[in-house]
Amino acid sequence: MSQITSSSRRSFLVGSGSVAIGVSFGLSGTDLAQAQAQANAGSGYAPSAWVNIATDGTVTLLSPAAEMGQGTMTAMPMLLAEELDLDWKTVRVVQAPSNAKIFGNPRFGGGMTTGASRTVQGYYEPIRLAGLQARQVVLQAGAAAMGVPAGECRTELGAVIHSSGKRMSYGQIAAVAKAPEQLPAVDKSQLRPMRQFKIIGTDIDRVDVAAKTNGTARFGIDQRMPGLRYAAVLRAPVHGETPTSVDDAAARATKGVQQVVRLPYGVAVVADSWHTARKARDLLKVEWTNAARARQHNSDKVLAEYVARARKLDDAGVDFIKDGDASKAIAGAARTFSATYTSEMVSHICLEPMNCTAVVRGEQIELWAPAQSASFIIGAVGGAAGFKPENIKANITLLGGGYGRRVEPDFAVDAALVAKAMPGTPVQVIWTREDDIVHDKYRPMTAQHLVAGVDAQGRITGFLHRVVSEGIYARVVPGAFKASGGKDAPVMEGAEITYSIPGHTVQFMIEQRGINAGFWRAVGPGYTKFAIETLVDEVARGVGVDPIEYRIRMLDKNPRGAAVMREVAAMSGWGKPRQAGRALGVAFSDAWNTMCAMVVEISIANGMPVVHHVWSAVDCGVALQPRNVRAQIEGSMIYGLSAALHEKMTFKAGAPQETNLDRYRILRAAETPLVDVKVIVTDNHPGGIGEVGLPPIAPAIANAMATLGAARPRSLPFTRV
């Protein structure tokens, strides 16, 4: 798509078919703001999308993905800055408006969604190619302006430099440049090789951090505008029920209440303050249907049924993976090892509760949402509130935690429906923490049954992995789920392995019990790797091989995996004696195209593990920001540690028993282990990093507990031993 699309020739479009990047010269002030506003949904091509080089040398780069603490607002602009050869000090980053046609991620089919560790994975190459092409344009324009052949020029830190020493800054070029008639052709082979990176791979400060160190960062809940009203929404006590009758007289009579709005699934109270709205909400008298499947959900009973199904081998479900012949290998094995694992539902607890601000003006709606997916918001708001996609402007704010929860658009639908009932009035819907936990989309409850067949040499020759779970894609994208043949990818993620095992079968048995399951940080690998890595460890010890050595032997076709295992052994002093009552355990994850080995040192107190130290060696290929990679590995590890030690949602007749942080416990500061993460940079396409530390932590602890002679934990969260 190398073409010039703007007649002014002050802007041009570069890039490949999957990501097209607009570059403009010399826009400033209101022109720039206007051009960025034009990039909103429906208005099609906007010249300033992605990059504007101002005449003062300031370069504005748009960041296409939602910033939720993972560093994407820095990482994406770094990619452009690298190939454009910018001086990072001149870069200003702006959140991109919601136009998937311009900013969509190829790894989400062009959708504007942030999640599943796919942002860097999806944009890495297309953004750099576009940056490279844009640099060629700037170089040619600079050469022309200086009256020298382009072939005698190079770029460096935001300037075009001729071999004579003559130079022009990008800002000076922007003042005179026009886009060429024909864009220079570029291809992957011209991309800057890793050893020449100047920006990628450096620990520049994250662009979102400064405002987060002094209270000035604005999250969704911090949006303010004249005439803003606040709303609290009453939802059903059990997932899936709807109101049958509403008596809102007392709520309406409350001083400060402006409006009570019936929603298909609940009732919203709008007031001049959120405190008033929430108090008036308590005065609503609502009768609910009593028909939801979730009413039958009692956690202990359902889990027992899942376990029974996982062990019922003739209920084969859907084959998620079938490599070789696992059952034959197991039938002919010298020894078999088998175990059943369970995981309870867990909640996200984004510390910023779900919220969204919206205002309706005529046919148009504008929303301010701390959300992971502008595309899902536009789809859901269009469907539920009847707005045309081109009339929906979704502004993605900073997110106070995402972890997969904010892929769902339910809170934006609240705001859209309430705002639609009060045209012209901006309304901010804020969920209470109780709303947030009760109406979460939890990591699903699972039961897994695994069987490993081992030959006379101690090698695993057949591996059967059965997963019983509520579906996620089955609820969120039912069409795609059906088209996949009933393979629920996020539920089953992590069941893929890079261990050399000739016969590998993974089966998925779907359950539909009415409690919403959803994306959760490292959703599938959080329990699939727990089961795999615990059983593999058990096999290693059973056949008398060191657990790290055993894994390295199975990683014969994954040298990067073997390398991180060796590295973590060295980091942790694996094999060296520990103080009395302490032991090490290890686990490995190859999810999201990143290799992660982890060792923990633990003791046991009151029947529960105490984690003292965590070491991790990570190869995510090219590490855009190594320090941030370490922070993400540590943070996701802690998220997983919290879940493994403390977190569990319990349901009685469909009603959650944990509704706030007094009963739903998450990890606190004093429980934090020492953490050492080593990033091994390799010249491979970047893998994901935002979830990578989570899968190995629980099995590493379980394996260390076995070393201490405790029963191997097979449930998440752990129970007292």
Partner 1 sequence: MIQLTLNNERVSIDAPPDTPLLWAIREQTNLTGTKYGCGIAQCGACTVHLDGEPVRSCALPLQAAAGRNVTTIEGLMKTDAGKALERAWNAAQAPQCGYCQSGQLMTAAHLLRTAKKPLSRTEILDGMNGNLCRCGTYNQIAEAVAGAQKAMSGGRA
Residue numbers at the binding site for partner 1 (CB under 8 A)? 68-70, 205-206, 208-219, 221-222, 224, 230, 256, 273-276, 349-353, 398-403, 430, 432-434, 627-628, 631-632, 634-639, 642, 660-662, 666-670, 672, 674-675
CB 392 within 8 A of CB 244: no
**Residue 147 or 215 with smaller CB distance to partner 1:** 215
* Distance from chain centroid for Cα 127: 20
**In terms of DSSP bridges, do strands 266-271 and 229-235 run parallel, antiparallel, or are they unpaired?**
antiparallel
**Residue 349 or 523 with smaller CB distance to partner 1:** 349
For residue 360, give the 3-state DSSP assignment.
strand
Distance CA 179, CA 175 (A): 12
Least distance (Å) between residue 444 CB and partner 1: 20
Least distance (Å) between residue 415 CB and partner 1: 17
**Residue 195 or 255 with smaller CB distance to partner 1:** 255
Least distance (Å) between residue 265 CB and partner 1: 22
Distance CA 220, CA 32 (A): 24
For residue 254, give the 3-state DSSP assignment.
coil
Which single residue is written with the structure tokens 């090892």?
337
- Omega within 30 of 0 (cis) for the link into 226: no
**Residue 17 or 227 with smaller CB distance to partner 1:** 227
Distance CA 553, CA 574 (A): 17
**Residue 340 or 628 with smaller CB distance to partner 1:** 628
Least distance (Å) between residue 706 CB and partner 1: 26
Least distance (Å) between residue 676 CB and partner 1: 10
Distance CA 601, CA 670 (A): 16
**Residue 88 or 499 with smaller CB distance to partner 1:** 88
**Residue 635 or 654 with smaller CB distance to partner 1:** 635
Distance CA 143, CA 612 (A): 60
**Residue 286 or 350 with smaller CB distance to partner 1:** 350
Least distance (Å) between residue 250 CB and partner 1: 16
> What is the Cβ-side half-sphere exposure of residue 31, based on CA atoms within 13 angstroms?
13
DSSP state of 390: G
**Residue 221 or 595 with smaller CB distance to partner 1:** 221
Least distance (Å) between residue 297 CB and partner 1: 25
Least distance (Å) between residue 274 CB and partner 1: 6
Report the phi/psi class of residue 55: left, alpha or beta, with left for phi > 0 and alpha for psi in -120 to 50: alpha
CB 205 within 8 A of CB 147: no
Report the phi/psi class of residue 336: left, alpha or beta, with left for phi > 0 and alpha for psi in -120 to 50: beta
Q: Which residues are within 8 A (CB) of 702 and not within 5 positions of it... i.e. 6 or more apart?
A: 530, 534, 537, 585, 712, 713, 714, 718
Question: What is the number of other CB atoms lying within 10 angstroms of the CB of residue 411?
Answer: 27
Least distance (Å) between residue 180 CB and partner 1: 40
Structure tokens given for 510: 């779907």
**Residues 678, 684, 689, CA angle at the centre, nearest 5°?**
50
**Residue 39 or 233 with smaller CB distance to partner 1:** 233
**Residue 86 or 638 with smaller CB distance to partner 1:** 638
Least distance (Å) between residue 69 CB and partner 1: 3
CB 556 within 8 A of CB 500: yes
Distance CA 422, CA 404 (A): 31
**Residue 13 or 667 with smaller CB distance to partner 1:** 667
β-bridge mates for residue 18, sequence order: none
**Residue 145 or 217 with smaller CB distance to partner 1:** 217
Least distance (Å) between residue 236 CB and partner 1: 20
**Residue 297 or 443 with smaller CB distance to partner 1:** 443
Structure tokens given for 162: 């001729």
Least distance (Å) between residue 564 CB and partner 1: 21
Least distance (Å) between residue 430 CB and partner 1: 7
Distance CA 96, CA 113 (A): 12
- Omega within 30 of 0 (cis) for the link into 717: yes
Q: What are the φ/ψ torsions at residue 395 (nearest 5 degrees)? A: -95, 125
Closest CA to 202 of 678, 617, 628, 596: 628
Question: What is the number of other CB atoms lying within 10 angstroms of the CB of residue 419?
Answer: 30
Least distance (Å) between residue 279 CB and partner 1: 8
Structure tokens given for 208: 């979102």
